[in-house]
Structure 1
Amino acid sequence: MAFSILNTHIIRLPPPSSPSASPSSIPSSNPKYPIQLRICRPSASLSDMDVISSPGLYPLHRCKTLHLVRHAQGVHNVEGDKDFSNYLSEQLFDAHLTPLGWQQVDNLRKHVHETGLSKKIELVIVSPLLRTLQTAVGVFGGEGYKDGINVPPLMVENAGESNRPAISSSDCPPFVAVELCREHLGVHPCDRRKSISEYRPLFPAIDFSLIDSDEDNLWEANYREKDEEIATRGKKFLNWLWTREEREIAVVTHSGFLYHTLSAFGNDCHPSVKSEICTHFANCELRSMVIVDRCMLGSDPATTNYPGKNPSGLDLPSDVADEKLSNDKEGK
Structure 2
Amino acid sequence: MDTIEALIQCPRQQKCKVLHLVRHGQAWHNVEGENNRKALLSPHLFDAQLTSLGFKQVAELRKDVHTSGLLHKIELVITSPSSRAMQTAVGGFGLDGHKNSGDIVSKTLNTLKIMAVELCRDRLGVRPCDKRRKVSDCQSRFPSIDFSMANDEDDNLWNPNLRESTEELAERVAKLLKWLWTRPEKEIVIVSHGIVLQQILINLLGNDGHPTVRAASCRRFGHCELRSVVILDKRSGFAHGGSSPSPSLGCGQQEDDVSKVSGNCLELIII
TM (normalized to structure 1)? 0.66
Task: Decide which of 56, 74, 80 is 1:127's aligned counterpart.
Answer: 80
Task: Decide which of 274, 287, 292 is 2:227's aligned counterpart.
Answer: 287
Q: Please, which runs of 5 or more residues in structure 2 have no aligned partner?
A: 243-271
Q: Secondary structure at the match of 1:218?
A: coil
Q: Which whole-Å CA distance do the structure 1 matches of 2:97 and 2:123 have between them? A: 33
Q: Which whole-Å CA distance do the structure 1 matches of 2:83 and 2:158 have between them? A: 15
In the other structure, the counterpart of 1:210 is 149
In the other structure, the counterpart of 2:20 is 67
Q: Which whole-Å CA distance do the structure 1 matches of 2:182 and 2:30 have between them? A: 33
1:126-275 aligned at under 5 Å gives the runs 126-143=79-96, 157-158=100-101, 161-162=102-103, 166-169=105-108, 172-266=111-205, 267-275=207-215
In the other structure, the counterpart of 2:43 is 90
Q: Are the structure 2 counterparts of residues 60 and 251 from structure 1 closer, same or farther at C-alpha, using a change threshold of 3 Å?
A: farther
- Provide the aligned C-alpha RMSD in A: 2.3
Q: Secondary structure at the match of 2:22?
A: strand
The Cα offsets for residues 209-240 of structure 1, whole Å up to 9 and x where unpaired, read as: 11110100000001100112111111110100
Q: Secondary structure at the match of 2:228?
A: strand
CA contact (8 A) 2:90 2:97 kept: no
The Cα offsets for residues 254-284 of structure 1, whole Å up to 9 and x where unpaired, read as: 0111123322343321333212321111111
Q: Please, which runs of 5 or more residues in structure 1 have no aligned partner?
A: 1-8, 10-41, 44-54, 146-154, 305-332
Q: Are the structure 2 counterparts of residues 302 and 263 from structure 1 closer, same or farther at C-alpha, using a change threshold of 3 Å?
A: closer
Return the offset for 1:142: 1.4
Return the offset for 1:169: 4.2
CA contact (8 A) 2:110 2:144 kept: no
In the other structure, the counterpart of 2:267 is none
The Cα offsets for residues 45-92 of structure 1, whole Å up to 9 and x where unpaired, read as: xxxxxxxxxx78554550011111000000000000010001100010
Q: Which whole-Å CA distance do the structure 1 matches of 2:133 and 2:173 have between them? A: 22
Letter in 1 for 2:63: K
Q: Which whole-Å CA distance do the structure 1 matches of 2:97 and 2:28 have between them? A: 25
Letter in 1 for 2:146: D
Return the offset for 1:144: 5.8
In the other structure, the counterpart of 2:254 is none
In the other structure, the counterpart of 1:102 is 55
Q: Secondary structure at the match of 2:185?
A: coil
Larger Rg: 1
Q: Which whole-Å CA distance do the structure 2 matches of 1:249 and 1:120 have between them? A: 9
Q: Are the structure 2 counterparts of residues 134 and 60 from structure 1 closer, same or farther at C-alpha, using a change threshold of 3 Å?
A: farther
Q: Which has the higher strand share?
A: 2
Return the offset for 1:110: 0.6
Runs of 4+ aligned structure 1 residues displaced above 3 Å come to 55-61, 168-172, 300-304
Q: Which stretch of the first structure deviates more once superposed, 251-260 or 75-84?
A: 251-260
Are residues 1:79 and 2:28 paired? no
TM (normalized to structure 2)? 0.81
Q: Which whole-Å CA distance do the structure 1 matches of 2:231 and 2:241 have between them? A: 18
Q: Which whole-Å CA distance do the structure 1 matches of 2:36 and 2:186 have between them? A: 42
Q: Are the structure 2 counterparts of residues 302 and 219 from structure 1 closer, same or farther at C-alpha, using a change threshold of 3 Å?
A: closer
In the other structure, the counterpart of 1:150 is none
CA contact (8 A) 1:62 1:292 kept: yes
Letter in 2 for 1:139: G
The Cα offsets for residues 82-125 of structure 1, whole Å up to 9 and x where unpaired, read as: 10001100010000000000000011111101110011001111
CA contact (8 A) 1:141 1:169 kept: no
Return the offset for 1:291: 1.1
Q: Which whole-Å CA distance do the structure 2 matches of 1:268 and 1:231 have between them? A: 17
CA contact (8 A) 1:141 1:168 kept: no
